[in-house]
Chains A and B, each alone.
Chain A
């Protein structure tokens, strides 16, 4: 025990001899300057590249269903208004874990560029967890003013589910539209 005391004393005295009281200021100052300079260092950031994509594209691999499902340009999103579930841990036809698919949906039609036919798309919202915030997409083709309640997509369609908190939107094909007489 005595030896331990001696050791501690020697260590404390050597620190006191070897450092000045103001050296704390010098160390802190160096730290602050270093922290300020750090972001200026030439670090490559993928998102700043003009042609780069911030994430991996998600495709079906099927030539009949072309396009990247994480981008708003994907054909099925023509009437969507919301966050894409493909960017939120779900997919174009399924909800992210922890959310519930609303049974009540907004339904529209989109033209598939592969065959130029109009498909009926059901935009089921995923509900129960706060907004995903990724890949906002707001294309609204066929959207009608709010006086036509059933054809307006600004409403929260999370009404039929347990929780009315909106997370993201899917785009499920439910049928092929017939040729309409003009």
Chain B
């Protein structure tokens, strides 16, 4: 009888713990183009986080914010290319496949809300082509033009609504 009671208590406890763990787990949303999210997170820590901060928040003086911002570049012409040619991406010491994995992960992790419905994930081949031609001193100007583009588009949409 005591054995049964112990078994019952054990079962209940296990069930509760399992439920707790399940409740604490954030829902895993799909990330097309991210073959290995754990690898991407490690690569983010190694190659990006030092300047862009662990949460991608950045600041307006030293390193631009990526959170709630980075995927908006995909909505303007030239933005998709910009994300592959910006120096931090193009010159990162990672091979093309890991870099594509990292860029897709960054987009989904820090700015899922602005991801275009028809987004095609970056592939290693596309990253390879883009990083051959990295932006240098013109990066600030290019970014300002693209940001002005999607800010204006956002305003127009607001007025239409």
Interface positions of A (Cβ within 8 A of B): 103-107, 109, 120, 122, 144, 148-151, 159-160, 174-175, 177-178
Contact = CB atoms under 8 A, between A and B. Distances in A.
Contacts of B39: 178
B161 interface: no
Contacts of A120: 42, 45-46
Contacts of A144: 93
B56 to A, nearest CB: 13
A144 B46 CA distance: 14
Contacts of A106: 50
Contacts of B49: 107, 122, 174
A150 B62 contact: no
User: What's the dominant secondary structure at chain A's contact region?
Assistant: mixed
A120 B48 CA distance: 13
Q: What are the 4 closest A-B residue pairs judged by CB atoms, nearest first?
A: A107-B50, A105-B50, A160-B62, A175-B45
B115 interface: no
Nearest to A161: B62
A176 to B, nearest CB: 8
B109 to A, nearest CB: 15
A150 B45 contact: no
Interface string B26-60: 00000000000011001001110111011000010
Interface of B: 38-39, 42, 45-47, 49-51, 53-54, 59, 61-63, 87-88, 91-93
B39 to A, nearest CB: 6
Given A159-B62, A174-B45, A175-B45, A150 B50 contact: yes
Nearest to A108: B46
A122 B46 contact: no
Given A148-B91, A160-B59, A160-B62, A107 B42 contact: no
Given A122-B50, A174-B49, A104 B63 contact: yes
Given A107-B50, A144-B93, 6 more contacts: A103-B59, A104-B63, A122-B49, A160-B61, A174-B45, A175-B42
Most buried by B among A148, A150, A174, A178: A150
B60 to A, nearest CB: 11
Contacts of A149: 87
A150 B47 contact: yes
A122 B53 CA distance: 11
Contacts of B63: 104, 160
Contacts of B47: 150
A151 B62 CA distance: 16
A89 to B, nearest CB: 25
Nearest to B51: A104
11 contacts: A103-B59, A148-B93, A149-B87, A150-B50, A150-B91, A174-B49, A174-B54, A175-B45, A177-B42, A177-B46, A178-B39
A175 B63 CA distance: 22
A150 B59 contact: no
Contacts of B61: 160
